[in-house]
Amino acid sequence: MLKSTESVKPPSWTKVLLEGRALYELGAMYLSVPWLWRAPYGDGHPVLVLPGFTAGDGSTLPLRTFLKSRGYAVHGWTLGVNLGQDIDPAAGGPSDRLQHRLRNLHLQYNRKVSLIGWSLGGLYARELARIMPEDVRLVITLASPFYETTKASRLVTLYEFLNRTNAEDISPTLRARMQASPPVPTTSIYSRTDGVADWRSCVEPTGELSENIEVEASHLGLGFHPLALWAIADRLAQEEGEWQPFQRDGFRRILYREPVEVSH
């Protein structure tokens, strides 16, 4: 078992340079459409997709289009570019506008909402599920550095510049809470070749309602990598209240590596 506290640091520059493969991963998604068309079909419940830092709904369009083809009522966050201002580091909670977005979707469909968050968007998703569990069906994060966030990302300096703040000023309450699993079924999809966030910060201890799925991908391409898309569809297709861990049986053992157990 790997101890992440001994290892968390920004990815190497070699991994950063490998982020250019995201373009090839986007192409791989389109080439994989015949296979992805066989992914599990859903029950039509609402899904809210939250983008990563400095990204907006355009970045999640391929993912949302795929999920719509699987029968879900998929929504972008509609809040513009994510500049990291939707969790108050001092107060330690999601912004009102994020909470309203989630609550309105729950009321609109009269069904719990599944949350998918890419990178920083995943931190938002976890915190929303923590304070509004009655509105959330499950959480899926993509390369989200919820453990030792300020030590794990290559984008911390940019975050500090854009927000005129010190990332280390995050409240101790929020820092501790971010490292704990939300009280709803939670899946973390991560890559050990991530060039933006240290993968160790994206892995949580496996529990009754938490799991990790490893995909060989870039940080910028994880949201449309074919294997990530299939895993997302598999997780969303489960009956509400009957969540089970992802099964790496049969051919999946070749496609998906055994997740690494990390002790925080």
3-state secondary structure of 244: coil
In this predicted structure, what is the pLDDT of residue 93? 75
Q: Would you give the distance in Å from CA 132 to the centre of its chain?
A: 17
pLDDT, averaged per 10 consecutive residues of the chain (264 residues), comes to: 64 94 96 96 97 96 98 97 80 84 98 97 95 97 90 86 79 80 97 95 92 97 98 97 93 89 67
In this predicted structure, what is the pLDDT of residue 205? 85
Q: Which domains does the chain have, with CATH numbers?
A: 2-263 (3.40.50.1820)
In this predicted structure, what is the pLDDT of residue 166? 79
3-state secondary structure of 47: strand
In this predicted structure, what is the pLDDT of residue 179? 84
In this predicted structure, what is the pLDDT of residue 168? 74
In this predicted structure, what is the pLDDT of residue 229? 98
Which DSSP category does 207 fall into?
Answer: B
In this predicted structure, what is the pLDDT of residue 6? 55
In this predicted structure, what is the pLDDT of residue 263? 66
In this predicted structure, what is the pLDDT of residue 162? 86
Euclidean distance between CA atoms 155 and 171, whole angstroms: 19
